Amino acid sequence: MKADVLIVGGGIMGCATAIELARKKKSVILFEKDEPGRHASGHNSGGVRCQGRDVREIPLAVAARAMWDHHEQTVQSDCGFHVSPRLRLAENDADMAVLEKRQALLNSLGYDHEVLVDREQVRRMSPHVAEHVVGGLACYTDGLANPLLTSKAYAATAEREGVTILSQTRVIDVQKTANGFKVRTSSGKQYEGETLVNGTGAWAGRFSEMLGDPLPIYAAAPTMMVTDRVPGIMNGTSLGLTGRLLGLMAAENGTIIIGGGYRSPLDLEKEKIWIDPMQMSKAAKIMIEVLPALRSAQMIRCWTAFEGCLKDKVPIVGASTKVSGLFHVCGFSAHGFQLAPMMGRVMSQLVLGREPELPLDDFRPDRFEQAA
Amino acid sequence: MKNSYDAIIIGAGPAGLACSAELANKGLEVALLDEQATPGGQIYRNITRTSSRQRTVLGEDYTEGLKVIENFEKAAPDYLPRARVWQAEPNGEVFLSHKKSSKKLTAQFLVLSTGAMERPVPFPGWTLPGVMTCGGMSNLFKDSSLAPTEPVVIAGSGPLLWLVAEHLFALNAPIAAILDTTPSKQYITSARHMPQALGRFGYLMKGVKMIAAVQLAAKKAKVPMYRNVKNIEAVGNEQLQSVKATCGNKQLEFAASTLLVHEGIIPNTALLRQIGCEHTWNPVQRYWHPEVNEHGATNLPAVFVAGDGTFVHGAKSAEYKGRLTAMAIAKQLHRLSKCEYKQQAAPVREQLHKELQPRPFIDALYAPRKDLFAIPDEATVCRCEGVTAGRIREIVAQGFSDHNEIKSIIRCGMGPCQGRMCGSAVLELVAERSGIPAEETRPLRMRPPIKPVSLQELANAQLEETDES
């Protein structure tokens, strides 16, 4: 079977790219070893966040944020999206200085989506934060979405646009040919395409290695937790910290989703993650310090997912510098979810040989070699 | 208590008690952890404290537990009651909550003897106050001699239904009706297992006598009793007021303030799933049970499962299974030679085989009836998140058949019970609507903590290795 573009990985990046390419009349086959959205795309904490992003990502994040308002038209689902302002708290003067510097930097670059707020404003937004909190940086337009619903909506849209999604189909071999790529799958079939997109998340490094283009991507298992319903405590505002690890998402149903950098041990080969209970304990300690009213709240569940990470914590997006016709969109380092709609756009432009509408130079796959 | 053991046994029912006693008797360092205040599990619940009046009502099958307790107390392994295990790992780590504090214990081997639970079956009105299970009623009596003083309807299928009816007659409880939902045709379909079951003729006769005694008592007390009953419905606003059902063409309705339901018993697999035991589908009783060999070994080398958690076989079998598991572990830890193991395990294995003879018959007779999960669209299925059967059918019609995905999208099974209460029903609704056999769908994942833990307790938890206290 042949197609213009072969996409490996049914995460949200692969599906977003597939949708845009199909809309530009390209034939696309997408391979997914499990089900679309099975890993980080469908099982992240659901944060749709511009706040705190690496400055290299901000143009993409700002553009992506606008697209989140139109999912009902673009993917026929609201994706469970709702606005929940994100407030990054300063727990002391040193934190506050960091936030002031951050805002100054953003202003100098022409961005105004992160706004400094004082003690009083913090308490208006989040009345239960502890006494020691001195201020914060607010991003009023941030929000939350349902990650699995979003991933499934993207996959379903791709199929509606004519993309062939092969679930439960693992790519076991891939070769560069004279006019493109040849892929062999676990179902014993062969596929050919002119270009190939690597959207394999945690597996992106080893996948790319099959083509002689190794990437410095490592797998991590972000660990999320959720409390029972504690209505009123968060006041609809999601929280982050400046000097410590913690992200608290104020879900609409009154539960709190906890993320922000907790990790569990994993075995990528066996696709197994052991949820580390120490992470729950660490998060619980900080939560009670920041929101003392949470003392009697219950932790009801943890979950994890495989994610691909890079040491500089921004993704690899762009054409392979070693294999012509190969494109990477991976290594989002646990904050790719929000970027997905925009990544689909720029990836499709790259694949079609056009100039991407926003520069992607900072995400070159060979940036680590250059640095070395 | 120490922090580290040769074996940690989780669950102090007959399997856990027998297993820990056997291991302790062989000189191994053993800890038995249990959620309840006293040993005995559900079947021998509160047995160390029940009065002679309670014991008379509960009968010999209950007081049999005294012997198990006696052996256990003699062997005296470390025993931690009121301990809620919320996570266990294949490397032998156990995380538990005890007296409002959480800690970690480790062992070379884990035995999960977490037993069984009544099959939760949603039906219209099942969330009304006044509706409870037969097992729940039995627990109230074992714990505090409680019995209904206002009209009570007993409905469902299975041996426990008759046992509870027998107890309630003995207690002169005002039974309004007994509604047996076992389909008549299952008396025929189960008949082919009868010859094997006759190997334990005495056991079968005990069951027959129990049912006959209930029937006689019902006749004497003029309690209406119906067979082949369908469409149970609990009616009331704030509280149960009456129970509706159908029997053939007949519409039944009985005023009652308590409805006791029972639709069989299934293994309690929450901890087994969380730790990562592989499971197999049983097509007769329609439940997932762990894949174990005769002595309870699982796919995880350090993890064994003993008792009704492996497959529902009853208290006596659980005890034998617990002992066999103990012997297998003792052999691995070189406390039993191969030869000793053979000698000691053979008679227990033989007793277990004898005990299991009637099970295929009982399982077939009391198999979940075909329309058990024909739940009306408006009935709540997931109690934690208030998701109805209709909503589940809708999402299945959209192409979703994996409960994990259904959970992520419509929150069914996402609450504090993690699908323990709705899991069976969702499985059947998916099968009904999608046509995909239940055993081909992806089982619901259980995530730690499998029981909620307060943030304060987690914050104070001692989870790192500490010196022995």
* Average pLDDT estimate for B257-286: 97
Contact status of B36 with chain A (Cβ, < 8 Å):
no
Nearest-5° Cα angle at B411, B266 to A231:
115
Residue at B52 is within a domain:
yes
Q: Which of B241, B263, B285 is the last residue of a domain?
A: B263
pLDDT at B465: 55
In total, how many domains does chain B have?
3
* Average pLDDT estimate for B94-101: 95
Alpha-carbon span A351 to A319, nearest angstrom = 8
Residues of chain B found within 8 Å of residue A301, distances taken between Cβ atoms: 414, 418, 447-449
Residue B468 clears pLDDT 50, i.e. is over it: no
* Average pLDDT estimate for A85-114: 98
Residue at B469 is within a domain:
no
* Average pLDDT estimate for A27-50: 97
* Average pLDDT estimate for A150-171: 98
pLDDT tens digits, one per residue of A39-80: 999 999 999 999 999 999 999 999 999 999 999 999 999 999
Q: Where are the beta strands (DSSP E) in B238-321?
A: 240-247, 250-255, 258-263, 265-267, 279-282, 287-290, 303-305
Q: Which of B282, B302, B336 is the last residue of a domain?
A: B336
For chain B, positions 274-293, list CB contacts with chain A under 8 A.
276
pLDDT at B105: 97
For chain A, positions 286-305, list CB contacts with chain B under 8 A.
287-288, 294-303
Residue B55 clears pLDDT 70, i.e. is over it: yes
Considering only CA atoms, give the Rg of chain B: 22
Nearest-5° Cα angle at A248, A246 to A251:
160
pLDDT at B466: 47
Contact status of B405 with chain A (Cβ, < 8 Å):
yes
Alpha-carbon span B373 to B370, nearest angstrom = 8
Domain ranges of chain A: 2-63+147-216+311-371, 86-140+223-304
* Residue listed under structure tokens 């008549």: B184
Residue B373 clears pLDDT 50, i.e. is over it: yes
**Is B231 found in the same domain as B152?**
yes
Alpha-carbon span A106 to A93, nearest angstrom = 20
* Average pLDDT estimate for B352-370: 96
Instruction: State the ipTM, two decimals.
Output: 0.93
**Is B203 found in the same domain as B96?**
no
Residues of chain A found within 8 Å of residue B449, distances taken between Cβ atoms: 277, 280, 299-302
Q: Is A222 helix (H, G, I), strand (E, B) or coil?
A: strand
**Is B255 found in the same domain as B288?**
no
pLDDT tens digits, one per residue of B407-431: 999 999 999 999 999 999 999 999 9
Residue at B428 is within a domain:
yes
**Is B16 found in the same domain as B39?**
yes
Residue A154 clears pLDDT 90, i.e. is over it: yes
H or E stretch covering A59 = helix A58-68
**Is B249 found in the same domain as B157?**
yes
Burial of B252 (0-12, 13-18, 19+ CB in 10 A): buried
Residue at B468 is within a domain:
no
Query: Among B30, B46, B50, which residue's Cα sits nearest to residue B110?
Result: B30
Confidence of residue A260 (pLDDT cuts 50, 70, 90): confident
* Average pLDDT estimate for B450-465: 89
Residue at B360 is within a domain:
no
- Residues present in chain A in total: 372
* Average pLDDT estimate for B279-289: 97
Residue at B464 is within a domain:
no
Residues of chain A found within 8 Å of residue B458, distances taken between Cβ atoms: 280-281, 283-285, 299
With beta carbons less than 8 A apart as the criterion, state whether A184 and A172 touch: yes
Give me the CATH number covering residue B106: 3.50.50.60
* Average pLDDT estimate for B30-40: 98
Among the partner residues A283, A299, A303, nearest to B452 by beta-carbon distance: A299
**Is B126 found in the same domain as B258?**
yes
Residue at B168 is within a domain:
yes
**Is B211 found in the same domain as B310?**
no
pLDDT at B464: 72
A86-140+223-304 CATH fold = D-Amino Acid Oxidase; Chain A, domain 2 (3.30.9)
pLDDT at A369: 83
**Is B232 found in the same domain as B133?**
yes
CATH annotation of A2-63+147-216+311-371: 3.50.50.60
Confidence of residue B467 (pLDDT cuts 50, 70, 90): very low
**Is B245 found in the same domain as B148?**
yes
Residue A371 clears pLDDT 70, i.e. is over it: no
Residues of chain B found within 8 Å of residue A288, distances taken between Cβ atoms: 455-456, 459
pLDDT at B153: 98
Contact status of B440 with chain A (Cβ, < 8 Å):
no
pLDDT at B462: 80
pLDDT at A236: 97
Confidence of residue B463 (pLDDT cuts 50, 70, 90): confident
**Is B129 found in the same domain as B251?**
yes
pLDDT at A133: 98
**Is B124 found in the same domain as B259?**
yes
Listing DSSP states for A301-351 in one string gives EEEE--EEE-TTSS-EEEE-SSSTTEEEEE--TT--GGGHHHHHHHHHHHH
Q: Which of B216, B246, B263 is the last residue of a domain?
A: B263
Greatest Cα-to-Cα distance within chain A, rounded to the nearest angstrom: 66
Q: Tell me which amino acid residue A295 is.
A: R
Residue A370 clears pLDDT 80, i.e. is over it: no
**Is B315 found in the same domain as B392?**
no
Rounded to the nearest 5°, which phi and psi values hold at B460? -90, 0
Residue at B368 is within a domain:
no
Question: Which structural domain, as residue segments, surrounds residue B15?
Answer: 4-117+266-336
